Chain A
Amino acid sequence: MGIVLAVFAGFALALVAPWITGATGRATGWLYSLVPAGITAYLSTFIAPVAAGETMRVAYAWVPGLNVDLSFYVDGLSLFFALLITGIGTLIFIYAGAYLKGHHHLGRFFAYLSMFMAAMVGLVLADNLFTFYIFFELTSFASFVLIGFNHDEAASRRAAWQALLITKAGGLALLAGFLLMEQATGTLQISAILETGEAIRDHGFYTAIVLLVLAGAFTKSAQFPFYFWLPNAMQAPTPVSAYLHSATMVKAGIYVMARFHPVLSGTDLWFWLVGGIGAFTMVLSAWLALQYTDLKGILAYTTIMALGALTMLLGLGTETALKACLVFVLVHAFYKAALFMVAGAIDHGVHERDITKLGGLRSKMPITFGAAVIACLSMAGIPLFFGFIGKEIIYEATLHLDQAALFFTGAALLANVALVASAGLLAIRPFMGPLNDLTSHAHRPDTGLWFGAAVLAVLSLGLGLAPWLLDSAILAPSLSALMGAEATPHLAIWHGFNLPLALSGVTVALGVGTYFAWTPMRQSAPFRALERWLGTGLDNGYDHAINGLLATATAQTNFLQNGYLRRYIATILGTTVAVVGYTFGHFGFEGPVLSFVGIAPYEWILSLLIVGGALATLFLSARIALVAALGISGFSIALTYLMYGAPDLAMTQFLIETLTVILFVLILAALPTLSEVASIGHRLRDGVLAVATGSMFTALMLAVLNQPFENRMGEYYMQYSYSEAQGRNIVNTILVDFRALDTLGEITVLLIAGFGIYTLLRLKRSKTSEKVEASRASEQVEQLS
């Protein structure tokens, strides 16, 4: 119950926030932060039992018919992420209260933010693929409204829409993957799926499942080639960037990969796809980050770099790599959230985020400066800071790979060099140097604006000094869950002089070099080309893709839906011919055995009249002749019915035909002469289609004639009627009892249709009433039945 409450507390806050925010005033952020803080505290009580190897599961039947439960599962991995989300959430809430102080939509903002947090908590704790997916999509939606929060700016709107389209598309791929997963394992319950061992890997759907799940994860976690939405998403207010687009939401994709790691990983496909794309994204975005001067731009690309690194580590899949992954999640969350808050504080105080225009802020905002420096040192992986631990393990993991160790180590080195340079830019450029016109007017930030960054900086430093604190309580259970096997990791501040340490040294040295070469490098042609192709290039590619899709749609629409009725008719016919033709081909078509034995002369004559009349309607153009032809055909049919021994049917047909003929005569008299203007080409094309249709129907009929079904059915019927009714005179019974009613109905139709003619003749009254009457006629017929 407690867990459910923990998940839904955020939704509850989201519901009330818009209404009560007016009353909470300046304390809003601090007050609302009690919710995530409370959830964090509650979840912390699980740390001890989970570390002891327990897992908790609560399930409420939701839709038993579909095996959908509202169920939550607390194990090392979900607890790890849940704590991260609510913990950082607490700080972000405080920060957002200060950052958006006095904003007239503050309540709405907090509603979105809490909804997001709740969705995220629900996502990581969910134990049912179905509920998991729901929360996954809710995070996309929350991200959409938060990015578009300043919707009076066109760039915000575009970014919000882009993010939603991309993550939504990925989400649907994920859903497809989940459906296949259910098919492969026979359950929707995640904790049960994790127990199935090789079931998915051995299943024929494996490749499809991996591709679909990864499509969901890669779009959400901004991997190549989908990452372009993330820098655009920085249009959102900074607390949102800090929370959603660096610390938590984008990690949802990582969580998806981590959650299903035990059952999906371990194949070459997984290794190269996840590891390879992760590594590529990591290196690419680390260097792209150096192309930007906007604080949030740099932070966005370094976030993508971190996500790439995490993806790569999940792809590599060794115990060290997975340990590195978990540690790096924490490292990154701490420093990146801190740096975003710093960037926001600067933006708030100076209204400028371009690092080439900032400077000297250390005196204006000392605490912020201190936090920024610590966060950047952690980011650069300097010893004594948490980031150092993370980087060491990453190197250790890539170095000890069985395959492609050199490739992945090289990639990690390359990415980290750029990261060091970015860290330098972020720590030094805004704060050092003299104050300028802009920065000298900066105002001192509120407590709320530096508090979060300071806490996270302290954590980055503290965990750098005492990383073993995480070993048994946090890391061991989460690593075990990630591997699907028992693990006892140990983090140490010092591993002695070894290859990773040497690599760290090289990284820092090269990073410092890069920092000093930044300005010329950024302006050099190759780097600008890189940015043009893979930074804004992919973004433009998205536009081109959308435009291309739209152009295709336009072309298809113009071709298929040209507004002409004859095209529509031709399409219907063409399809029918194709389908029935296929059926013939499929079932085989045998030549007919026609027997027109015993056709009486008058039957010949009647049939000729019917066909002749029908053909005449096609070829005549004189108005009266047309009607006459139709009438001949219709009356001949009536005579045919008579021969069938259905006099009442014949009479009805006769009456209706008379009426129809009168109607047509009246209408045609009112219209001008009929002219045909179809071009030869159209006639030819339609003629071919019509001949095909005709052949098809003739073939159909010939096939009928091939069926010796008459006798069988006759026997069936006789047996049926003798046993259940009073013999064969049943036909008479029906005729007497029911056709009387039918005929009554027909007469009504006639009367009313006659009335219709009358109104048509007068042409004064509203046309609708007469249509109503006709429909009412068929209505009554049907009721009489």
Chain B
Amino acid sequence: MDLSGAFTAMWADLPAIFSMLIVGAAGLVVILMEAFQNRDPRIPWLTAGAFGLAMGWEAFQLGTAPDTAFFEQLRTGGYAAYINLLILGAGLFTTLVSPPYLRRLNRNFGEVYALLLFATVGMIMLGTSNTLISVFVGLETMSVCLYIMAGLLREDEGGIESGFKYFVLGAFSTGFLLYGIALMYGTTGTMHLPEMAGAFPDGVPLLFWAGVGLVIVGFGFKVSAAPFHMWTPDVYQGAPTTLTGYMSTASKASAFAALILILFFALPSAQASLVLAVLALITMAVGNVMALRQANVKRMLAYSSIAHAGYMFVALASGTTAGYSGALFYLLVYTVMNLGAFGVLALLEWDGMAGRKQTLSSLAGMGLERPVLGASMAVFMFSLIGFPPFGGFIGKYYIFAPAVSAGLTWLVIIGLLFSAMSGYYYLRVIYVLYMQTAADVAEADRAPEGGFAQPAWLSTAAVALCAVLLLVLGVAFSGVVDVTEMLFIQADAMAQTP
């Protein structure tokens, strides 16, 4: 660590965090604007602009070779750009669908956008981290913002409960994470992930595993892997829907990205496979079984996101580069489908309580009344099941195939059986949206007359774009697969010559 040229190096490294700077600066500007004028209408546009600008920047970085910046604190290059694009894209989508939604909830504060931007900075840091320090700082920056976002509806009993549960459990799991980091650091003597693998020429000590175990517990919480998932349905149900969509996608994407980096760099050759496989099994079981009986769509989607975390763990358990690139691809698909699904729910929300009281039945017949939203929702549901030709199918294929190659056949078969089970609850949404009408559902479940707002065109377009993207990902996914594979081939080379 030659620090003589530290400050010069810092300037040279600035482009590496261009997105973070843009997004962070936008957050600060938003706070200032809000201070001078409440609910300044330009704030969402500024936010969207920052996200868009950062995305444009990252798009150009996709093909670049992996490198590190800031004394190897952060990763740059293709992998980082891919993850950042995912996170920023989720942010952009959320910014586009949120203003009309939050206006109806009377929560269109500028601070919401500032939180969104700050959370994104944290996520970018987490997803591109190369040391456990940036993992911790990124994770916490993100979490602290998300706690507030979850409890945004603080006059509502549900909203505040959502924030509270998220906070208590989140802080608790942070304790585990930090302790795990301490142990990993203590046994290896370094915070740098790539150096960890080489720290044990003669056998990995027990204590290192304990540290990894605690870190996995911490991450398991963030990505809602069972049995650390329990906050997920309660938090998703009470949080404002568009922000739930953001939480369920971007935060998971960055947490998974960091977890992949930790597993790939710090763990010598797939030795955590069994633990991850068991985690995958429990998570798939819990998510899929518990989603079956949900009457509230948001809650159902919460369990569904747990189930999808389980599928992701299947890919991680295979411990091969193919598995990791499959996981990366799945993250993209998952992000698009979930954002879209929550977006549709936000646009079809009428209860003024972030949809926490709204049953699926209340949406009966909406598929035909709002054709674009309905068709998009159908695409999301089919994709979530893993139905071709949508992205969800390719994603599932791409994470299950490497797992079979890695000898986890039993896990893949169980995973597919659970996917079959998931058909029940996803298809029920389509069934209700398209095949039922308000007359078919119980009086208590019906939406009030005129309860459904006319959706804003921009939000509708954003949702429809997600649906189209899924179809594209399901048919012309070759390019993306190439990118995700290349990331690891490069990273592989990099791991060998640190």
Contact = CB atoms under 8 A, between A and B. Distances in A.
A and B touch in the complex (CB under 8 A): yes
A778 B227 contact: no
B122 A782 contact: yes
Interface stretch (A36-44, A89-97, A134-142, A276-284): A134-142
Interface residues of A, number: 92
Contact of A766 (B109, B147, B221, B440): B109
A133 interface: yes
Interface stretch (A178-186, A190-198, A304-312, A359-367): A178-186
Contacts of B221: 572
Interface of B: 1-4, 6, 20-21, 24, 27-28, 31, 34, 70, 73, 109, 111-112, 114-115, 118, 121-122, 125, 133, 137-138, 140-141, 144-145, 147-148, 152, 154, 165, 168-169, 172-173, 176, 183, 186-187, 189, 205-207, 209-210, 213-214, 217, 221, 227-228, 230-231, 233-234, 275, 286, 289-293, 382, 385-389, 393, 397-398, 400-401, 404-405, 409, 412-413, 416-417, 419-421, 423-424, 427, 431, 434-437, 440, 477-478, 481-482, 485
A775 B477 contact: no
Given A553-B293, A775-B145, A576 B214 contact: yes
A165 B427 contact: yes
Q: Please report whether the interface of chain A is mostly helix, strand, loop or mixed according to DSSP.
A: helix
Contacts of A180: 404, 409
A583 B180 CA distance: 14
A546 B121 contact: no
Contacts of A779: 24, 27, 118, 121-122, 141
A179 B423 contact: no
Nearest to B173: A572
Contacts of B386: 172
Given A580-B210, A700-B207, A717 B292 contact: no
Given A205-B409, A580-B210, A704-B183, 7 more contacts: A134-B393, A137-B393, A161-B435, A169-B423, A572-B217, A730-B3, A771-B148
Contacts of B4: 726
A776 B409 contact: no
Nearest to A179: B404
Nearest to B111: A772
A250 B313 CA distance: 36
Nearest to B289: A553
Interface in A35-84: 61-66
A169 B420 contact: yes
Nearest to B109: A768
B8 to A, nearest CB: 12
A326 B341 CA distance: 46
A391 interface: no
A62 to B, nearest CB: 6
A561 B235 CA distance: 12
Interface stretch (A349-357, A420-428, A516-524, A563-571): A563-571
A660 B387 CA distance: 52
20 contacts: A64-B478, A141-B382, A168-B387, A172-B417, A175-B397, A549-B292, A554-B293, A556-B286, A556-B290, A565-B169, A575-B217, A588-B206, A700-B210, A704-B207, A717-B189, A724-B1, A737-B6, A767-B154, A768-B152, A778-B141
A624 B393 CA distance: 58
A157 B34 CA distance: 51
B290 A775 contact: no
Interface of A: 61-66, 130, 133-134, 137-138, 141, 148, 151-152, 154, 157, 160-161, 164-165, 168-169, 172-173, 175-176, 179-180, 182-183, 205, 208, 212, 546, 549-550, 552-554, 556-557, 560-561, 563, 565, 567-569, 571-572, 574-576, 579-580, 583-584, 587-589, 700, 703-704, 707, 709, 713, 716-717, 721, 724-726, 730, 733-734, 737, 766-769, 771-772, 774-776, 778-779, 781-783, 785
Contact of B140 (A580, A587, A726, A778): A778
B388 A138 contact: yes
Contacts of B214: 576, 580
Given A775-B118, A779-B118, A703 B210 contact: yes
Given A569-B172, A779-B118, A768 B388 contact: no
